[in-house]
Amino acid sequence: ETYGDFDILRYHHLDYIDKYLNRKNGHFYGVHQEGGPSGGVNESQIEYIMNHQVRDMLNNATKIIPDNVTWGGQSGPVFAAQNIDFMKPVVDDVDTLLANGITVNIWNGQLDLICCTLGTLEWLQTIKWSDFDNWHKSAKRGVKNPSGTDIAYFKKEYLNLRMYYMMKAGHMVPADNPVAALMGVCDVTGVPY
């Protein structure tokens, strides 16, 4: 069986899911209904899609998702296991990575209120990397979205330090601007978009 009906999950914008669900179901949780709200997909919609349509499609081809596993069901235990690293200062670790030639990629959503751009830039000022001044002086260049109509992100780089200023995105870049997120991941990994 093909996954043709779920190619939409490789969406380039959240509105495509809205349109897909509207076409398949007539309406879905009030998205794009006559006189109803329009916009992105919310968490309960994503949870429903992942725990029903996507799970069913994947399990029809191969039984890869166990019955006791649900979308988001592991977030509590994962957070608890990683709690020791939560809000831990990493400036010294970043300095060590940079000094040893390891590439460091910093992403920041333009609209992020949790890790705001000004705070991120201020944090970067504390880095003691020997090439920081050269990075700081390097040009920031805009990378346009595939249609060429808008800037997906700005990128500033020197040697092994890169910063991505993700446009039209807050803390959750992949949910807020999936096009920019995918383009950025492709850039980081060297895979063509």
Q: What does the pLDDT look like over 100-131, one tens digit per residue? A: 999 999 999 999 988 889 999 999 999 999 99
Q: Which residue has the tokens 């249609």?
A: 147
- DSSP string of 37-84, one letter each residue: --SS--HHHHHHHIIIIIHHHHHHH---S-TT--TTTTHHHHHHHHGG
> Distance between CA atoms of 188 and 107, rounded to whole angstroms?
11
pLDDT at 42: 66
Question: What is the token pair recorded at 75?
Answer: 């977030």
- Residue 183's nearest CA partner among 159, 158, 148 is 148
This prediction has a pTM of 0.62
pLDDT at 75: 84
Collapsing DSSP to helix, strand or coil, 1 comes out as coil
Task: Quote the strand ranges of the chain, DSSP E.
Answer: 104-109, 140-144, 151-158, 161-166
pLDDT over 90 percentage in the chain: 42
**Which amino acid is it at 173?**
V
**pLDDT digits 0-9 by tens, 126-142:** 999 999 999 999 999 99
**Which amino acid is it at 154?**
F
Contact 163, 177 (CB under 8 A): no
Residue 22, CA distances (Å) to 38, 174, 176 in order: 11, 22, 20
- Residue 149's nearest CA partner among 136, 121, 168 is 168
Residue 7, C-beta contacts closer than 8 angstroms, at least 6 positions apart = none
- List the beta bridge partners of residue 66: none
Q: Is the pLDDT of residue 18 over 80?
A: no
What letter does residue 85 receive in the DSSP assignment? G
**pLDDT digits 0-9 by tens, 57-94:** 888 877 888 888 888 888 888 888 888 887 888 889 99
> Distance between CA atoms of 177 and 1, rounded to whole angstroms?
31
pLDDT at 72: 83
Mean pLDDT of all residues in 146-167: 95
pLDDT at 25: 47
**Which amino acid is it at 40?**
G
Q: Is the pLDDT of residue 39 over 70?
A: no
